[in-house]
């Protein structure tokens, strides 16, 4: 690998979560407009993180800081592996480890609210991780498990697999009807309830890295051709997925934990299975 390619990969790892932060600001703005409100500025997520970093750190347990740092480390590592073209399965498991660290951080605090939030987050992981795993397997079987060898254009063969990623994004973006862990209609914010100041900022940035990885998977479905067209198309596809979650959020109410798990597993796995079955029937192989 030449120095320029390596520098571009490092730059992508740095810029990608910042783009996600900007997308979170656009999310708030679009949601506000849909509800006939003015809404916060697009850069509000960055203002929030900056304000949290300036506050005095307070924790109930030293393990909270350890798990917060571990969550950031694993999610950042997952994005770095994805950008460098590594094995998609390995990247998936590294990112999943970061999600588990968030749950462990919630369980490490001696607080009933934090414990309940950790349980809810664990249910959310149980709901979306199997679907995300099957999406990774589908991409690997149809193209390659090495991200660097995937040429894109999967949308033609795996449209339902891409559709299965939408409810996964709804959960990760903490939106209705699957905002069970954080329940943004409530005051208590799930596994984050006992985090504050810099440590809460660390978890928010870790979530940006996680979302950057999942949105990166979405971009794999767009065909690779001319560099400018490819980048524009990938960004457009990622924004379309984000906009779909915003519409779902504003058109639905929060479901129960049982409904979330059952819907995600039945609908998500069902969409992937149907897509692979049709592909096998039409082309004789996956």
Alpha-carbon distance 208 to 20, whole Å? 6
The gap from C-alpha 189 to its chain's centroid, in whole angstroms, comes to 18
Where do runs of H (alpha helix) occur along 35-87? 44-53, 62-83
Put simply, whether the predicted model's pTM sits higher than 0.85 gets the answer yes
pLDDT for 137 equals 94
At residue 87, φ and ψ (nearest 5 deg) are -65, 130
Residue 251: predicted pLDDT: 85
Rounded Cα–Cα distance for residues 192 and 181 (Å): 9
Nearest to 131 by CA among 217, 224, 13, 216: 217
Helix or strand or coil: residue 146? strand
Instruction: List per-residue pLDDT tens for the chain, 286 residues long.
Output: 578 888 889 999 999 999 999 999 999 999 999 988 888 999 999 999 999 999 988 888 889 999 999 999 999 999 999 999 999 999 999 999 999 999 999 999 888 888 988 998 999 999 999 999 999 999 999 888 999 888 777 888 999 999 999 999 999 998 888 876 666 555 457 788 889 899 999 999 999 999 999 999 999 998 766 777 788 888 899 999 999 999 998 888 777 878 888 999 999 999 999 999 998 888 776 6
Residue 248: left if φ>0, alpha if ψ -120 to 50, beta else—which one?
Answer: alpha
User: Alpha-carbon distance 91 to 85, whole Å?
Assistant: 10
Transcribe 247-274 into DSSP letters. Answer: HHHHH-PPPPHHHHHHHIIIIIHHHHHH
pLDDT recorded at residue 5: 81
3-state secondary structure of 169: helix
> How far apart (Å, rounded) are the C-alpha atoms in residues 128 and 272?
13
The Cα 152–Cα 227 span in angstroms is 12
């Amino acid at each position: 690998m030449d120095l320029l390619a390596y520098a571009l990969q490092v730059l992508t790892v740095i810029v990608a979560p910042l783009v996600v932060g900007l997308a979170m600001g656009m999310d708030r703005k679009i949601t506000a407009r849909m509800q006939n409100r003015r809404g916060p500025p697009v850069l509000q997520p960055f203002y929030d993180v900056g304000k949290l970093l300036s506050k005095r750190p307070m924790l109930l347990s030293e393990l909270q800081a350890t798990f917060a740092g571990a969550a950031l480390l694993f999610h950042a590592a997952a994005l770095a592996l994805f950008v460098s073209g590594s094995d998609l399965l390995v990247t998936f498991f590294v990112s999943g480890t970061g999600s588990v660290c968030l749950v462990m951080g919630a369980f490490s605090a001696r607080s009933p609210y934090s414990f309940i939030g950790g349980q809810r987050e664990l249910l959310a992981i149980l709901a979306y991780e199997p679907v995300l795993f099957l999406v990774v397997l589908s991409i690997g079987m149809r193209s390659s498990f090495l991200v660097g060898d995937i040429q894109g254009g999967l949308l033609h063969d795996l449209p339902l697999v891409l559709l299965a990623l939408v409810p996964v994004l709804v959960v990760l973006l903490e939106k209705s009807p699957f905002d069970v862990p954080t329940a943004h209609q409530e005051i208590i914010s799930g596994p984050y309830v006992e985090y504050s100041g810099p440590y809460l900022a660390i978890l928010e940035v870790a979530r940006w890295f996680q979302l950057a990885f999942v949105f990166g998977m979405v971009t794999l479905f767009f065909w690779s051709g001319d560099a400018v067209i490819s980048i524009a198309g990938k960004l457009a596809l990622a924004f379309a997925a984000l906009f779909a979650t915003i519409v779902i959020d504003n058109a639905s109410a929060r479901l129960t934990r049982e409904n979330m798990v059952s819907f995600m597993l039945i609908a998500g796995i069902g969409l992937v299975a149907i897509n692979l079955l049709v592909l096998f029937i039409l082309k004789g192989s996956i």
